[in-house]
Amino acid sequence: MIRQVLLTVSESKRLIARAVAQMEAVRRARSEGILVICTGTTNGYLLEELLGKPIDKRAYRTGTTAPKEPERCGLPEPPRIPDVVFRRGEIAPDLNRFTAVRLMGSGDVFVKGANALDYNRKIAGILVGGSDGGTIGNAIGRLVGGRVQLIIPVGLEKLVYGDVLELSRKTVQPEATGPTLFPVSIGTIVTEIEALRLLAGVEATLIASGGIAGAEGAVRLLLEGDAAQVERALTIVSGIQGEPRFLL
């Protein structure tokens, strides 16, 4: 059975977040070890899935990419929500992404979003705005050394056609300006493709992108599987369609 679905950027974030929340590694780390949810727009959706309730996701964003005059929701700016770290089933308010990573080891999970995706090579790129290396620069050594699982939820809207390693080299040239691009190849990348495979058992293929009137950045996916799998996927997508756009 073959069907097509269209997902807007916010719908994709919801789908990916729902899948990550159900990953066995995430569930186990939350209940038995340490689970770090770094601030970020997609991770705001993930936090809602884990908590089972809505939050003002504007309060959980970081390093936002937006136009010069972004669309706004009309509500006052909310106070920022600090990094949420789960430790043995409870939120640990005394920990953040930087302090928690020092305590993490095998079986623990660190969730960090990305800004670029080289899907074929399974390499993500994370924009870094500070000279200290940002979140990923400060955490990567401990993640590797401690065998901590890094999960990278990232939508297919962030696909780049070049080699992320080469793109990174360009951004770190002395004469370059703007944020640098930190390449990451050790993480488990979760896009809409992996999300639909995990949640419904279907194989999804990106066949087109973009649109207008709210579908800018949207992805059109071809779903393949048996009738039960595809119908399950269509039901899941139907349930998240209409997810409001992320406005500031």
Mean local confidence (pLDDT), 174-203: 97
Which tokens hold the place of 89? 């089933």
Given pLDDT bands bounded at 50, 70 and 90, which one contains residue 238? very high
Give residue 21's pLDDT: 98
CATH number at residue 123: 3.40.50
* β 203-209/34-37 pair status: unpaired
Domains: count for the chain: 1
Q: What is the pLDDT of residues 32-77, one digit of tens each?
A: 999 999 999 999 999 999 999 999 999 999 878 888 899 999 999 9
Give residue 64's pLDDT: 83
- Whether residue 215 is contained in a domain is answered as no
- Whether residue 220 is contained in a domain is answered as no
Domain of residue 68 covers 12-191
Closest CA to 86 of 2, 4, 138, 21: 21
Name the one residue in this structure whose structure tokens are 């780390």. 29
**CA torsion 169→173→177→178, rounded to 10°?**
30
How many CB atoms are located within 10 Å of the residue 36 CB?
31
CA distance 15 to 202: 14
CA distance 149 to 122: 15
- Whether residue 5 is contained in a domain is answered as no
**Measured between alpha carbons, how far is residue 10 from residues 42, 146, 170, 227, 240 in Å?**
9, 33, 30, 27, 9
- Whether residue 239 is contained in a domain is answered as no
Give residue 201's pLDDT: 98
Q: What is the pLDDT of residues 152-172, one digit of tens each?
A: 999 999 999 989 999 999 999
CA dihedral sign, ordered 85, 128, 190, 244:
positive
- Whether residue 203 is contained in a domain is answered as no
Averaged pLDDT of the chain: 96
Mean local confidence (pLDDT), 173-201: 96
- Whether residue 97 is contained in a domain is answered as yes
Mean local confidence (pLDDT), 183-191: 96
- Whether residue 7 is contained in a domain is answered as no
Amino acid sitting at position 177: T
Residue 132 has pLDDT above 90, yes or no: no
- Whether residue 117 is contained in a domain is answered as yes
